[in-house]
Amino acid sequence: MIIDALIDKIIATQNPTCVGLDTALSYLPEGMAGEVSSPDEAAEAVYRFNCGIIDAVADIVPAVKVQIAYYERLGAAGFSVFGRTCAYAKEKGLFVIADAKRNDIGATAEQYAQAFLGKTMKRNMLACDFLTVNGYLGTDGITPFLQACEDYDKGIFVLVKTSNPSSGELQNLRLEDGRTVYECMGDMVARWGAIAMGKYGYSSVGAVVGATYPEEAKILRARLPHTFFLVPGYGAQGANAEMLKNCFDKRGLGGIVNNSRGILCAHKKSGGDPYTAARAAALAMRADLQNVLGEICAK
């Protein structure tokens, strides 16, 4: 099962992180971005940069998270480079999380599910292992993704408590029954996840839980013992390793932490080769997390 394979790899690399390929053209070194004069050229430059980053980290991280918005921005060439980036990461042995937060009614969600996780005319169009989705529409909008998870051994992460400053506006409101909206969404995710439970006690149907809200993460970790967390918010968004302790269980498992700008833009701080800088940043992040996870496991 895909969630077991991901956790196996997290254990093997001793690194519950993923590198976020939210690759804006402005993140590239001047030498690479400077000659670009069209969205098509930008897409190719982004692809070259992504390959360099993937090569630099493939032996030390288990996964990449590819944020499709940055690719859609570049039109069809960008969409193509999104797919090629996923394929290249897969080739290098990385798990690929497509961060697309898709959502729609059943018949349409089916199209997204097949596009990202399934097949079109018997072909795999994208080499994604996991897809992020938004559960605002309820169960029948999620069912096609669950079906694709079952049919093709894939996984999804449903937005539960997001990392952004305004996430509480809706998500932290309290329902009549005493639960917050994010707890309610978490409960739905746990129910959906029953279809794909793996050997570590985690489901291939996981949740997005922002590292920037450690209190909510603590509540959710206790409430959803079988739900694996994709954790954004470390680094540029303001969360440190201490803050994301709450996302993990006593074994130090249960989550994967994303870092995008902290790795892609490491060269802007350090100067020098961007890939060397990215690897150094990824190693520093691993050490930072190992430190905190070591404390959890020692307890």
Q: Return residues touching its own copies (CB under 8 A).
A: 22, 24, 37-39, 42, 67, 69-70, 72-77, 79-80, 83, 101-109, 111-112, 114-115, 120-121, 123, 125-126, 134-141, 159, 162-171, 173-177, 181, 184-185, 188, 232, 237
Furthest CA-CA distance within the chain? 58
Burial 250-287 (b: 16+ CB within 10 A, else e): eebbbbbbbbbbbbbbbbeeeeeebbebbbbbbeebbe
Instruction: Tell me the residue type at 194.
Output: A
For its own copies, the closer of residues 17 and 171 by Cβ is 171
As a whole number of angstroms, the distance between CA 214 and CA 217 comes to: 5
Whose Cβ is closer to its own copies: residue 29's or residue 39's? 39
Q: Is 154 a catalytic residue?
A: no
Q: Which of 65, 101, 122, 268 is catalytic?
A: 101
- How does DSSP assign 275-299, residue by residue? HHHHHHHHHHHHHHHHHHHHHHHH-
> Which of 76, 222 has the CB closer to its own copies?
76
CB of 51 to its own copies, least distance (A): 18
Give the 3-state secondary structure of residue 228: strand
Nearest residue (CB) to its own copies, 114 versus 204: 114
Under 8 Å between Cβ of 103 and 109:
yes
Q: Which is nearer to its own copies, 105 or 195 (CB)?
A: 105
The rounded distance, in Å, linking the Cα atoms of 101 and 92 is: 25
Phi, psi of 33 (to 5 degrees): -85, -25
Enter the tokens of residue 250.
């006593």
Provide the minimum distance between the beta carbon of 15 and its own copies in the complex, in angstroms, as a whole number: 24
Asked whether 211 and 244 are in contact (CB, 8 A), the reply is yes
To its own copies, the closest distance from the beta carbon of 68 in angstroms equals 9
Sign of the dihedral through C-alpha 99, 104, 109, 111 = negative
Q: Minimum Å distance from CB 24 to its own copies?
A: 8
Residue keyed to tokens 């996923």? 86
Minimum separation from the CB atom of position 69 to its own copies (A): 4
Instruction: Kindly list the catalytic residues.
Output: 101
